[in-house]
Structure 1
Amino acid sequence: MTQTSSTAAPMLTPRFCFDERLFRDFLRLSRSTIDDSITQNLNALMTPAREGFDPSSTAVRQTESGSRKTINPAACQSFKDNVLFPSWQTRSDVLTYCAGVATSPDPEDPDLILRQTESARDREREVNERLDPYSARFFPREARTESLANLIRNERTIEEIIRARTWGMVSEKCTGSSTWEEALNDWRQSHQK
């Protein structure tokens, strides 16, 4: 049986975090490999031939019976331990690392001098809204760390939704009643180095 492998962890550097396209591509690829195709991944764990083929099963359309079958608990546990949780952990590690980058000073910010210049000009600006109602509409440039922090917040929210959806499907096909957070924390504790 071939199992889908989780996406390899990228080399974590501030440059990786600030490259929004690369950062999002990693998350998208990791999610599509495991979470977006969770039904196919779980169905691949089932071995219907073990029960034998019943030719009469093709005479009537099977609507619910096939989707309610549970998977061998050992195969389920192996999938969760070797594919699902490592993938989630890799994404958690990337999000945590990049959140740290977003809260650290950024001496290499290419727009730092431009923002400082704009800020100095804005302090000297006189705003008379009676003469120009739009004069107060200055929008300062956002530091790339602020932009990264917003991106991380959004991606963490997306991650929560995706994990809840994936875990719902895993719980339906595999035995177990814990939440995804509890299951992931249990896996982390059992796999600590």
Structure 2
Amino acid sequence: MAENERTFTAPQSLLDSNLTFLNDEPTPTTITLTRERCVDPSLINSFLRILRHGSDDVIRQKLNNYRKPSSISEKKCDAFLKQELYPNWQIRSSIISFCDQEATQMKAETDRKFSNTGSSATGTITDARIDPYAAREKLEDQEARYRDWTRVKEWVANNEKIEQILTSTTDRILRQNCEQNKNYLEQFAQFCKDNT
């Protein structure tokens, strides 16, 4: 089975800002996702961190760069949303979705493998009277097979929660600084539909 891969590059606005973090290795600006990266997400976490910092963490400063006291401030907010914020959110959402899909495939593959372990095709089943440790070994094998899947699912759930908090907070700040009657989360959903 061919391995799934997907490559993402940080938005140009982030690359131009020359983000660095103290006491840290250089931040990645491009990442290729694989199942292994989802199982050990340290590089993905670094990439998501620069994306989150480059938009949501500095949202007020970013808006100040776009929004000037003039009649075209609304257009400047729209420019920020379409050129910086929404593309950033979309990349983050796509990264989390990739790992979620990989977790779903891992579960299905592991279910198939494990459901076949008890069949006579894979060998004889040891009677518990002959080998009293066989049941425990079988349980340990099952746990080992599902460990990576569990790890990825927990990572996905944690990052979905982080995204929900960040986007909700940013939505509130946008309503305070741009157009208060707009639903920026709904606009983002439409942006994703238009840019897939």
TM (norm. structure 1) is 0.65
Which of 168, 180, 184 in structure 2 is aligned with 1:180? 184
Does residue 54 of structure 2 align to residue 33 of structure 1?
Answer: yes
Please give the secondary structure, in 2, of the residue aligned with 1:25.
helix
* 1:89, distance to aligned residue in structure 2 (A): 0.4
| Moved beyond 6 Å, runs of 4+ | none
Deviations 1:166-188 (A, max 9, x none): 11111111115233331112222
Paired with 2:153 and 2:94, the residues of 1 have a C-alpha distance of 15
Paired with 2:103 and 2:188, the residues of 1 have a C-alpha distance of 25
Contact 1:6 1:87 in 2 (8 A): no
Paired with 1:169 and 1:78, the residues of 2 have a C-alpha distance of 16
Instruction: Give the number of the structure whose alpha-carbon radius of gyration is greater.
Output: 1
Stretches of structure 1 that go unaligned for 5 or more consecutive residues are 51-69, 126-139
Paired with 2:172 and 2:12, the residues of 1 have a C-alpha distance of 19
Q: 1:124 to 1:27 in 2, by over 3 A?
A: same
Contact 1:14 1:98 in 2 (8 A): yes
* 1:4, distance to aligned residue in structure 2 (A): 7.5
Does residue 175 of structure 2 align to residue 171 of structure 1?
Answer: yes
Higher strand share: 2
Q: Which structure would you say has the larger RCO, counting Cα contacts within 8 Å and 6 or more residues apart? A: 1
Q: 1:71 to 1:143 in 2, by over 3 A?
A: farther
Number of the residue aligned with 1:90: 91
What letter corresponds to residue 5 of structure 1 in structure 2?
S
Paired with 2:133 and 2:85, the residues of 1 have a C-alpha distance of 50
Higher helix share: 2
What letter corresponds to residue 74 of structure 1 in structure 2?
K
Does residue 132 of structure 2 align to residue 124 of structure 1?
Answer: no
TM (norm. structure 2) is 0.64
* 1:6, distance to aligned residue in structure 2 (A): 4.6
Contact 1:71 1:174 in 2 (8 A): no
Paired with 2:30 and 2:173, the residues of 1 have a C-alpha distance of 25
Number of the residue aligned with 1:44: 65
Paired with 1:167 and 1:9, the residues of 2 have a C-alpha distance of 27
Paired with 2:186 and 2:14, the residues of 1 have a C-alpha distance of 20
Please give the secondary structure, in 2, of the residue aligned with 1:182.
helix
Paired with 1:14 and 1:186, the residues of 2 have a C-alpha distance of 29
Number of the residue aligned with 2:122: none
What letter corresponds to residue 192 of structure 1 in structure 2?
N
Q: Where does 1:7-156 land on structure 2 (aligned, <5 Å)?
A: 10-47=31-68, 72-105=73-106, 123-125=134-136, 140-141=143-144, 143-156=147-160
Number of the residue aligned with 1:5: 13
Number of the residue aligned with 1:62: none
Q: 1:148 to 1:102 in 2, by over 3 A?
A: same
Measured on the aligned residues, the alpha-carbon RMSD in Å equals 3.5
Deviations 1:146-166 (A, max 9, x none): 101111001101100000001
